[in-house]
Structure 1
Amino acid sequence: MLRALGRKALSLTLSLIVASVVIFVMLQAVPGDPAAFMLGLNAQPDTIAALRAELGLEGGLIQRYLAWTGGMLTGDLGTSYTYRAPVSDLVLDRIGVSAPLAAYALILTVLIAFPVGLIAATRRGGPADWGIMGATQLGIAVPNFWFAMLLVLVFAVQLRWVSAGGFPGWSDPVAAIGALTLPAIALALPQASILARVLRSAVLDTLDQDYIRTARAKGLSRRATVVRHALRNALIPVLTILGLQFSFLLAGAIIIENVFFLPGLGRLIFQGITQRDLIVVQSVTMLLVASVIVVTFLVEVAYTVADPRLRR
Structure 2
Amino acid sequence: MIRYTIARFFSLIISLIVASLVIFSVIEVIPGDPASFMLGINAREDTLAALRSEMGLDQPLTLRYFDWVIGMFQGDFGNSWTYKTPVSELIADRIWVSLPLAIYALILSTLIAFPAGIVAASRRGGASDVTIMGATQMGVAIPNFWFAMIMVLIFAINLRWFSAGGFPGWSNPLQGLKSLTLPAISLALPQAAILARIMRSSLLDILLEDFIRTARAKGLTRSQALWRHAVRNALIPVLTIIGLQFSFLLAGGIIIEQIFFLPGLGRLIFQAISARDLIVVESVVMLLVFTVIMVNFAVDITYAIVDPRLRKKS
- Same topology, TM > 0.5: yes
- Structure 1 stretch 31-40 or stretch 219-228: which is displaced more? 219-228
Percent identical? 65
Alignment partner of 1:261: what SS?
coil
Residues 1-312 of structure 1 mapped to structure 2, 5 A cutoff: 1-312=1-312
* Cα distance between partner residues in 1 of 2:51 and 2:284: 22
- The amino acid of 1:104's aligned partner reads Y
Shift of 1:148: 0.6
- The amino acid of 2:143's aligned partner reads P
Shift of 1:224: 2.4
* Cα distance between partner residues in 1 of 2:6 and 2:251: 29
Q: Deviations over 1:116-175 (max 9, x none)?
A: 000000000011101111110100000111111111111101111000000010001111
- The amino acid of 1:118's aligned partner reads I
* Cα distance between partner residues in 1 of 2:94 and 2:153: 26
Alignment partner of 2:253: what SS?
helix
- The amino acid of 1:84's aligned partner reads K
| Uncovered stretches (5+) of structure 2, i.e. residues with no partner | none
Shift of 1:250: 2.4
* Cα distance between partner residues in 2 of 1:23 and 1:252: 16
Root-mean-square deviation over aligned CA pairs: 0.9
Alignment partner of 1:12: what SS?
helix
* Cα distance between partner residues in 2 of 1:137 and 1:278: 39
* Cα distance between partner residues in 1 of 2:221 and 2:107: 29
| Uncovered stretches (5+) of structure 1, i.e. residues with no partner | none
Shift of 1:277: 0.5
Hey, which bits of structure 1, 4+ residues long, moved more than 4 A?
none
Alignment partner of 1:234: what SS?
helix
* Cα distance between partner residues in 2 of 1:252 and 1:158: 28
Shift of 1:218: 2.7
Paired residues of 1:113 and 1:192 also in contact (CA < 8 A): yes
Shift of 1:243: 1.4
* Cα distance between partner residues in 2 of 1:306 and 1:88: 36
* Cα distance between partner residues in 1 of 2:58 and 2:222: 68
Q: Deviations over 1:203-228 (max 9, x none)?
A: 00111112212222333232222111
Shift of 1:235: 1.0
* Cα distance between partner residues in 2 of 1:241 and 1:140: 14
Paired residues of 1:187 and 1:252 also in contact (CA < 8 A): no
Paired residues of 1:136 and 1:196 also in contact (CA < 8 A): yes
* Cα distance between partner residues in 1 of 2:12 and 2:309: 23
Shift of 1:90: 0.3
* Cα distance between partner residues in 2 of 1:252 and 1:224: 39
* Cα distance between partner residues in 2 of 1:38 and 1:228: 62
Q: Deviations over 1:27-73 (max 9, x none)?
A: 01011111111111221111111111111212111010001001000
Report the number of matched residues.
312
* Cα distance between partner residues in 1 of 2:78 and 2:228: 50
- Structure 1 stretch 52-61 or stretch 259-268: which is displaced more? 52-61
* Cα distance between partner residues in 1 of 2:15 and 2:146: 33
Q: Deviations over 1:82-106 (max 9, x none)?
A: 0000000000000100000000011
TM-score, with normalisation over the residues of structure 1?
0.98
- Structure 1 stretch 199-208 or stretch 244-253: which is displaced more? 244-253
Alignment partner of 2:252: what SS?
helix
Alignment partner of 2:170: what SS?
coil
